Structure 1
């Protein structure tokens, strides 16, 4: 049975966000990591990992001449990489500082930003169900902010910059693997320069640890690149709105890990806030299922 491009994109999004959802399990092995060096080494290690993926799948080197000729895609890849680096820095800081639930909140907020960008920049329209879902999520977040009396800065940084990264991906004409390679390659010189500068001046923490811990630093590259491969396919084949809605898979899994495995506190305020967000998600997903069935019924021969 053939799968439509949109359905394929939705499947890729689901896989990507499921993998991101269980990522806190990996970072529990790096509780005291230097975040700046973790980010830099992840970028550096991503280059050979991306090349290896391309060689294994295509059995040939990238077409460098065609890549360098597409200046617009290179520009978007560079900007996208910078945006993703900021979001990823905030994300890993939360995971390595006992704030998995805050990371979860960040990606619950993310779909709101993703949907907003889709409406503003991609001229996408919102159905009634999606409007209800967005409204309930806004109310849930606002309630938490009102009760705690402070903005969830880390969560907002994660959500905003990740959504902007997704918007940049829409404008990159490279295929998924080449896009990931160039995103890493274009910022790798800056990462190498930073690690070298820090090692010479104050000393690098990552380079002074044992082999096992250093491998965990470097292992952040393949761990984060695998879901990005699926995510790249998702933003190419499905709408920003749908990617935004599918993103709820990730924080839901992180939330479960935070409460069930890491012992983080889930009080009444979070219960109300998350509950409203989950109800909104249920409404949007129910509407999507009904509309999908209706479309299939309309095209089925009678």
Structure 2
């Protein structure tokens, strides 16, 4: 196989990490309209990918006659939209650090869900990494005296989105197409409402803004497709640790490009989380070096 599950996941989170650079051009965006346009234009994109992989739509229509599949895909779509709404609002309203924290927290949620529902096992280094991550987040909670709800919602719902995909016996693209079809009525209602009340971006005289809204579909869809493909191949624990790439990039963007204030408590918090990531990477390298020997036994 050309790409491993780990390398696909790395590409997905690299792309996600750089998304704030795109959204800085549409500050204070109408997030609901942005997401509705994304759903509308993502359907033909996924359809073309299905055609390219010779995956028949008939298989999708057949799967949609299964109530269990419909329910799981509907929940997955809701979780994904909730996470995307939180993320998009954060990065278009000067809260890139909050988005970064949300996705630093997401791996912990993913790991917990993997252990609780999928019987995944933690290695010793992974257990230490989880403990360090929890300690890093706990520092911020103690300092601010309240839970970072935006970050919790963002990270928690995306972890649930990844978990839902583990319970549907379909390829990643087919699941995504079902999700989009189920979310389409909501998107169309929102778009029609904005058009009716003349609040849609389509009434804007700024053609570049309209183009940015339209291009948000493929820009956000590419990493999501890669993520869905990765979930098919590797455990939620591995997904959780690799995902640290994304918030690390967003953290650097927030401080170095967007000029957000970096307090000492955040430096300590993120340092503990990054140390956990380094332990995870060490664990992956160790297992890769051991696997050829193990396979010869």
Taking structure 2 as the reference length, the TM-score comes to 0.93
Distance in 1, Cα, partners of 2:30 & 2:265? 32
Aligned residues: 296
Name the residue aligned to 1:203. Answer: 198
1:227 aligns with 2:223: yes
Q: What displacement does 1:193 show?
A: 1.2
Following superposition, the deviation at residue 180 of structure 1 comes to: 1.5
Q: What is the alpha-carbon root mean square deviation over aligned residues?
A: 1.8
Deviations 1:128-171 (A, max 9, x none): 11111111111111111111222211111100000000000111
Distance 2:111 2:129 in 1: 11
Stretch moving more, 27-36 or 239-248: 27-36
Partner Cα separation in structure 2 for residue 59 and residue 85 of structure 1: 25
Q: Deviations over 1:237-279 (max 9, x none)?
A: 1111000111101001111111221111222111100001111
For residues 183-262 of structure 1, the aligned pairs below 5 Å read 183-200=179-196, 202-209=197-204, 210-262=206-258
For structure 1, the residue ranges without an aligned partner over 5 or more in a row are: none
Within 1, Cα distance between the matches of 2:59 and 2:26?
Answer: 37
Residue 300 of structure 1 deviates from its aligned partner by: 4.1
Q: Which runs of 5+ in 2 are unaligned?
A: none
Relative to structure 1, is the Cα distance of residues 77 and 135 closer, same or farther in structure 2, using a 3 angstrom cutoff?
A: same
Q: 1:81 aligns with which of 77, 80, 104?
A: 77
- Whether the 8 Å CA contact 2:194–2:200 is kept in 1: the answer is no
**How does 1:61-210 map onto structure 2 within 5 Å?**
63-200=59-196, 202-209=197-204, 210=206
Find the counterpart in structure 2 of residue 26 from structure 1.
22
SS at structure 1 position matched to 2:94: coil
Counterpart Cα distance in 1 of 2:53 and 2:117: 33
Partner of 2:271: 275
Name 1:8's counterpart in structure 2: 4
